Structure 1
């Protein structure tokens, strides 16, 4: 699919809105008694089935390279989810979301170390703004940031989120089709999710209220994993990894907005100011500053 950078940015932006809404449906699923392994197993399996039904012609022509790339992203994706979810058991959601957002700073560092891509000057300022915005949004300064075991696990997960951003930008386009990548992401998310469920969560199966869990799981699988992940994969193939990361970091902002709209949280100055700073950091990466009158050389 051939799209321009503006269309790619729009896809990433809508993907971020979907990812932000996912926290609500995850909360509904966990409230219904589902654990993370089973949630990922269901959403990944449904995503893979939908992908195959719609794009079976491309998927039936899977190459060895597709299988290799699919396994790599499957492992990266699973470890990011697993470590982040495990860390949440031992830390607060605010600290978790703030630490997770640090992937926006880790991705350029990995690109510099392994791909020798030196960040643009404005990248340093945009990343600094993004970290400040997340600190304000999560109120982590007032609550304190003393690293505990859960924080360490979350910090490890940010490495895999950074790697996923880079993978979608640099390696996924080498596959035979974006839909093949999406299918493989869902497939391996399902496989690792089922292994986790049967290995550690099987005893919780009888506690699940399926009438409450069914709708959020379907929305997570179809609306978030299939559509959101699909838009992210296509969008990232046409933009750079750092810019994509600074768009996707808005996920926490949109999660807070949805939480306020649905009555889970109240509107606070931190949400307004933190979100505004994040939007500014993201916009900064999308604008050619040299084209603005203020930055033009006289």
Structure 2
């Protein structure tokens, strides 16, 4: 809810939020299939396949546009930087889980990007969120804690390495949102999307080859194949194109709060489609996260109206000054003509 989007129309803000909410619904739906797939295929092999398919799909779909309007070097490097942050988020998070940080704690730490985004936005982009936004952020963090908290959480020395790696991933995800906000004002969303996904794909393949050489294990079955294709085409190509496009119409802080709903939808799908059960406390956390998102939405609507109300008198005042100046100029011309 930064005052940096030149106050887009409310309907654009609402449509952008709906699109981002759908993004999180789709991401939440992929947790079950990805969890099943990585039991057969390494996480990094899966990421390489997922982003590789997404990159090829984006190249094919946007080929005409990229040929008709070739991207500049600036577009390339901006997309690459965004892709590096995206790759860093997934990589650090995965290494943190492998170092012993539990999924619940990892989900909570990753969700802290909802706090990091407005802080980085204020420092780097000079875009300070509305003071009431921090209330929505606090509600979201409490909700994440209730949803993710596990009685088996440990905070010993042996957990520090994994926790810091997951935190590094959260920082990368926060910078991913910030960098899109920064560069979408200067580049079109198509090259930014293609290059960020392509960069993540290339780095994922390099990491895979580094760990397993040329003989990395790939065991395909119907579940793995479906997971790779669905996450590649829908949960990566379509989703990151959508995120990059709509971020021009909303603020980084608002994006972060909406993204906090991802574990909520993951929980709903898990309970609906598997035997997993949730405690009342966890459902309370889900409710708080959704409440934070709704609070942010209402705050945005009133903020935009208030900003426009303040601009209107200024606009009218400027118009009156121009009219007065024009009238004064005409009177001066008439006076000069009479004197001649």
TM-score by length of 2: 0.80
Give the alignment partner of residue 133 of structure 2, picking from 98, 116, 123: 123
Task: Write out aligned runs for 1:200-211 (5 A).
Answer: 200-202=211-213, 205-206=216-217, 208-211=219-222
DSSP-derived class of the 2:127 partner: coil
1:113 lines up with 2:123 in the alignment: yes
Q: Once the 2 structures are TM-superposed, how far is the Cα of residue 290 of structure 1 from its aligned partner? A: 9.0
**Partner Cα distance (1:204, 1:255) in 2:** 33
Per the alignment, do residues 207 and 165 of structure 1 end up closer, same or farther by CA in structure 2, a change over 3 Å counting? Answer: closer
Per the alignment, do residues 240 and 218 of structure 1 end up closer, same or farther by CA in structure 2, a change over 3 Å counting? Answer: same
**Partner Cα distance (1:155, 1:196) in 2:** 20
**Partner Cα distance (1:173, 1:21) in 2:** 31
DSSP-derived class of the 1:237 partner: helix
Which residue is equivalent to 1:241?
252
Q: Once the 2 structures are TM-superposed, how far is the Cα of residue 57 of structure 1 from its aligned partner? A: 2.2
Per the alignment, do residues 99 and 206 of structure 1 end up closer, same or farther by CA in structure 2, a change over 3 Å counting? Answer: closer
CA contact (8 A) 2:102 2:153 kept: no
Give the alignment partner of residue 266 of structure 1, picking from 277, 288, 291: 277
Q: Once the 2 structures are TM-superposed, how far is the Cα of residue 289 of structure 1 from its aligned partner? A: 7.8
Which residue is equivalent to 1:48?
55
Question: Where do 5+ consecutive residues of structure 1 fail to align?
Answer: 293-298
**Partner Cα distance (2:239, 2:128) in 1:** 29
Which residue is equivalent to 2:106?
96
Which residue is equivalent to 1:81?
90
CA contact (8 A) 2:101 2:163 kept: yes
1:58 lines up with 2:68 in the alignment: no
Which residue is equivalent to 1:170?
182
Which of 83-92 and 283-292 deviates more? 283-292
Which residue is equivalent to 1:22?
30
**Partner Cα distance (2:42, 2:112) in 1:** 26
Per-residue Cα deviation, 1:40-72 (whole angstroms, up to 9, x for no partner): 211111111111111112223121111111110
**Partner Cα distance (1:100, 1:222) in 2:** 24
TM-score by length of 1: 0.90
Aligned length: 288
**Partner Cα distance (1:114, 1:44) in 2:** 29
Q: Once the 2 structures are TM-superposed, how far is the Cα of residue 123 of structure 1 from its aligned partner? A: 1.3
CA contact (8 A) 1:95 1:145 kept: no
**Partner Cα distance (2:45, 2:218) in 1:** 12
CA contact (8 A) 2:54 2:237 kept: yes
Per-residue Cα deviation, 1:208-236 (whole angstroms, up to 9, x for no partner): 24444111100110110012222211221
**Partner Cα distance (2:208, 2:191) in 1:** 25
Give the alignment partner of residue 283 of structure 1, picking from 288, 294, 298: 294
Aligned residues: CA RMSD: 2.1
**Partner Cα distance (1:70, 1:207) in 2:** 29
Task: Write out aligned runs for 1:155-234 (5 A).
Answer: 155-175=167-187, 177-202=188-213, 205-206=216-217, 208-234=219-245
Question: Where do 5+ consecutive residues of structure 2 fail to align?
Answer: 1-8, 304-340
Per-residue Cα deviation, 1:173-231 (whole angstroms, up to 9, x for no partner): 421x3122221122111101110111103487346244441111001101100122222
